[in-house]
């Protein structure tokens, strides 16, 4: 399917116009490049502006004293203008990538055309200037029209230079729903063995965007080759169904691991290798455990227990993930999530904090030590089965009866 591109001017925020005025007023040339141009042409919202210029970093620093070098050797500057910040890179080429990650030598070049050739994919190498319009010597627009991710130049060399590009290309395919052009896909497969040379953080950033994209099946080709086994990510079926889940990290990552033979072991390995933030690892672990807990017993009682232990959000993610990877049938997943919604709507208690009595009430009645927690758990088990029992007076009357019988110390 050919897409129609929106070739109207790329809307530029006022602060970006100021930046253009300052740099071009000083005799330099600036272009918008990368995601902003690509997304505007596709009619998608523009979220950040990457800029490229012939101004050297020293000149940028002189014109914008607040600019911060983000690796001077890479000729990149972060330039704050008013409330906004722009990434500005000086036209450059890159040579000799010894470690498949970092350019060994970066050399400034005079012409934008040369700079575009070092970029990874044609659809990110289209530029836009507010007066000159679009400049697209690599014909990225034809790839945009036909929905193709194509490497700039010899794909295998480009992935050899920087293996992160393999994941960046898959990320574009997942987010945009593009296919990866044949030679580019073949080179990705051929060079996938270089992925372990990348840092965990950079891989995590790209993998997260791939999983949260509308078409996470873009990762299938690498998964099928076992190319992510070094991260513990292996042995699962196609990822396309993940596209139906909310595009948030926890449900998507949960569904990735849920479809593996040993989800928790795989999560532990990936979490260490990718240096996943604790909140993500913890959220995925809880959702996986909630899903596993529901597989054996799908009663309301067990559902409430899981809600109490992991929280309704993690249970919802576990149910969705289980449905998306076939651990739960679509009917089972639908039934569980409807029942959970019902429990929440009716306000039925499922955790200690929802009991009509609390620890202080028990202490006032003379309960001490372990008996406080154990009694709360016993009460919770009862109100889980019988929500109507959750009334202060009813519970208190029973507890006072117990107290008269000397049961407060749990003995």
Of the candidate residues 16, 125, 141, 207, the single one contacting ligand ATP (CB under 6 A) = 125
Under a CB-based contact definition with an 8 Å cutoff, are residues 288 and 263 in contact?
Answer: yes
Compare residues 34 and 243 and give the one whose CB is closer to Mg ion. 34
Tokens representing residue 137 in the block:
């010597």
Out of 35, 243, 249, 308, which residue is the one contacting Mg ion (CB under 5 A)? 35
Least distance in Å: CB of 76 to ligand ATP? 10
Please check whether residue 48 is in contact with residue 79, taking contact to mean a CB–CB distance below 8 angstroms. Answer: no
Size of the site for ligand ATP (CB under 6 A): 11
Q: Determine whether 387 is exposed, middle or buried from the number of CB atoms within 10 Å of its CB (0-12, 13-18, 19+).
A: middle
Judged by CB under 6 A, the chain residues 13 through 52 that form the site for ligand ATP are 34-35, 48, 50
Quick check: 175 binds Mg ion (CB under 5 A)? no
Q: Which of 57, 124, 213, 259 binds ligand ATP (CB under 6 A)?
A: 124
The strand pair at 105-108 and 127-129 is best described as: unpaired
- Say whether residue 251 binds Mg ion (CB under 5 A): no
Residue 162 touching ligand ATP (CB under 6 A): yes
Token readout for 149 is 């991710």
Scanning 117-125, 313-321, 336-344, 371-379 for contacts with ligand ATP by CB under 6 A, the matching segment is 117-125
- Minimum separation from the CB atom of position 181 to ligand ATP (A): 16
Binding of residue 191 to ligand ATP (CB under 6 A): no
**Residue 197, phi then psi, degrees to nearest 5:** -80, -10
Nearer to ligand ATP, 167 or 307 (CB): 167
Among 100, 165, 215, 252, binds ligand ATP (CB under 6 A): 165
31 and 12 Cβ atoms separated by less than 8 Å: no
Three-state DSSP string of 150-219: CECCCHHHHHHHCCHHHHHHHHHHHHHCCEECHHHHHHHHHHHHHHHHCCHHHHHHHHHHHHHCCCHHHH
If binding is defined by CB under 5 A, does position 232 make contact with Mg ion?
no
Beta bridge partners of 10: none
Nearer to Mg ion, 167 or 307 (CB): 167
Give the pair of three-digit tokens for residue 93: 């080429």
Closest CA to 186 of 138, 142, 221, 238: 221
Question: Which lies closer to Mg ion via its Cβ, residue 32 or residue 203?
Answer: 32
Asked whether position 232 contacts ligand ATP by CB under 6 A, the answer is no
48/374 with CB nearer ligand ATP? 48
- How far apart are CB 37 and ligand ATP at their closest, in Å? 8
Instruction: Tell me: does residue 57 bind ligand ATP (CB under 6 A).
Output: no
> Minimum distance between the CB of residue 34 and Mg ion, rounded to whole angstroms?
5
Which residues 242-271 are close enough to bind ligand ATP by CB under 6 A? Answer: none
Residues 6+ apart with CB under 8 A from 342: none
Stretch that binds Mg ion, among 23-31, 35-43, 262-270, 359-367 (CB under 5 A): 35-43
Options 120-128, 189-197, 344-352, 379-387: segment touching ligand ATP (CB under 6 A): 120-128
Q: Of 164, 219, 307, 357, which lies in the binding site for ligand ATP, with binding defined by CB under 6 A?
A: 164
Q: Of 6-14, 161-169, 323-331, 343-351, which segment contacts ligand ATP by CB under 6 A?
A: 161-169
> Contact between 103 and ligand ATP (CB under 6 A)?
no
Least distance in angstroms from the C-beta of 271 to ligand ATP: 23
Spatial neighbors of 197 by CB under 8 A, at least 6 apart, are 99, 100, 101, 163
What's the half-sphere exposure (Cβ side, CA atoms, 13 Å) at 300? Answer: 14
Binding footprint of ligand ATP on the chain (CB under 6 A): 34-35, 48, 50, 119-120, 124-125, 162, 164-165
Binding footprint of Mg ion on the chain (CB under 5 A): 34-35, 50
């Amino acid at each position: 399917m050919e897409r129609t591109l929106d070739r109207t001017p790329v809307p530029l925020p006022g602060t970006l116009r100021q930046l253009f005025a300052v740099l071009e007023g000083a005799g330099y040339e600036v272009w918008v490049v990368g995601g902003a141009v690509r997304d505007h042409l596709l009619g998608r919202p523009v979220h950040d502006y990457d800029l490229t210029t012939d101004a050297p970093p020293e000149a940028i620093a002189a014109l914008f004293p607040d600019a911060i070098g983000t690796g001077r050797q890479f000729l990149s500057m972060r330039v704050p203008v008013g409330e906004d910040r722009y990434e500005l890179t000086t036209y450059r080429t890159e040579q000799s990538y010894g470690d498949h990650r970092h350019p060994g030598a970066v050399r400034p070049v005079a012409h934008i055309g040369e700079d575009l050739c070092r970029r990874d994919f044609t659809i990110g190498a289209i530029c836009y200037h507010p007066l000159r319009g679009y400049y697209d010597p690599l014909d990225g627009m034809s790839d945009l029209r036909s929905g193709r991710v194509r490497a700039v130049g010899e794909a295998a060399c480009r992935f050899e230079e920087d293996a992160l590009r393999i994941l960046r290309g898959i990320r574009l395919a997942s987010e945009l729903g593009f296919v990866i052009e044949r030679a580019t896909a073949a080179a990705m497969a051929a060079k996938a063995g270089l992925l372990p040379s990348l840092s965990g953080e950079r891989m995590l950033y790209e993998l997260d965007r791939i999983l949260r994209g509308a078409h996470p099946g873009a990762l299938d080709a690498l998964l099928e080759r076992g190319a992510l086994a070094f991260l513990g990510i292996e042995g699962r079926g196609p990822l396309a169904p993940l596209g139906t889940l909310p595009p948030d990290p926890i449900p998507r990552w949960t569904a990735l691991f849920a479809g593996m033979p040993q989800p928790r072991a795989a999560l532990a390995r990936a979490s260490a290798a990718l240096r996943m933030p604790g909140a993500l690892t913890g959220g995925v672990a809880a959702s996986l455990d909630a899903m596993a807990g529901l597989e054996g017993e799908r009663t309301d009682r067990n559902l409430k227990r899981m809600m109490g232990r992991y929280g309704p959000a993690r249970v919802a993610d576990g149910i969705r993930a289980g449905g998306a990877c076939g651990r739960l049938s679509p009917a089972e997943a639908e039934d569980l999530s409807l029942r959970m919604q019902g429990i929440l709507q009716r306000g039925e208690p499922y955790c200690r904090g929802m009991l009509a009595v609390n620890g202080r009430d028990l202490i006032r009645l003379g309960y001490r030590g372990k008996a406080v927690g154990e009694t709360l758990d016993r009460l919770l088990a009862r109100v889980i089965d019988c929500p109507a029992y959750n009334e202060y007076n009813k519970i208190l009357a029973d507890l006072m009866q117990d107290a008269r019988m000397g049961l407060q110390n749990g003995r």
